[in-house]
Amino acid sequence: MTVKKRLFISNILMIVIPAFVSVIVSLCAILILWHLFYQPSVNEISEEISYIYSGEIRGAEKIIKAGNKADPKQTKTYASLEKYLTESNKRLEVYTDKGELIYSLGVVNKGENSAFAENLRDVETEGSISYDGNSVYCKRTNIENKEYLICVYSNSEYKGSNNYEGVAKSIVLGIIVLVVVSVFVTNGFLTKFVFKKIKRPIDILTEGVNNIKGGNLEIHIDYNEKDEFKPVCEAFNDMTKRLKESLDYKQKQEENRKELIAGYLTI
Q: Rounded to whole angstroms, how far apart are CA atoms 118 and 97?
A: 13
Residue 148: predicted pLDDT = 92
pLDDT at residue 14 is higher than 80: no
Residue 42: predicted pLDDT = 42
- Which residues 6+ apart lie within 8 Å of 71 measured at CB? none
pTM of the model: 0.43
pLDDT at residue 178 is higher than 70: yes
pLDDT band at 19 (very low <50, low <70, confident <90, very high): confident
pLDDT band at 218 (very low <50, low <70, confident <90, very high): confident
Q: At what angle do helices 165-213 and 3-36 cross, to 10 degrees?
A: 170
Q: Are 153 and 91 in contact (CB under 8 A)?
A: yes
Mean pLDDT of the region 151-180: 70
pLDDT at residue 122 is higher than 50: yes
Least trusted range by pLDDT, from 86-95, 127-136, 181-190, 228-237: 127-136
What are 74-105's pLDDT values in tens digits? 888 899 999 988 888 888 999 888 888 899 88
pLDDT band at 161 (very low <50, low <70, confident <90, very high): very low
Mean pLDDT of the region 170-193: 79
Strands (DSSP E) contained in the chain are 90-96, 101-106, 126-131, 134-143, 146-154
φ/ψ of residue 150, rounded to 5: -105, 125
pLDDT at residue 117 is higher than 60: no
pLDDT at residue 126 is higher than 70: yes
pLDDT band at 238 (very low <50, low <70, confident <90, very high): very high
Q: Are 162 and 5 in contact (CB under 8 A)?
A: no
What are 28-75's pLDDT values in tens digits? 777 776 766 554 444 444 566 667 788 888 999 998 888 877 788 888
The mean pLDDT value of the chain amounts to 78
pLDDT band at 108 (very low <50, low <70, confident <90, very high): low
33 — alpha (psi -120 to 50), left (phi > 0) or beta? alpha
Stated length of the chain: 267
pLDDT at residue 111 is higher than 60: no
Q: Are 230 and 197 in contact (CB under 8 A)?
A: no
At 257, which helix (H) or strand (E)?
Answer: helix 229-266
Local structure of residue 25 (DSSP, 8 states): H
Beta bridge partner(s), residue 179:
none
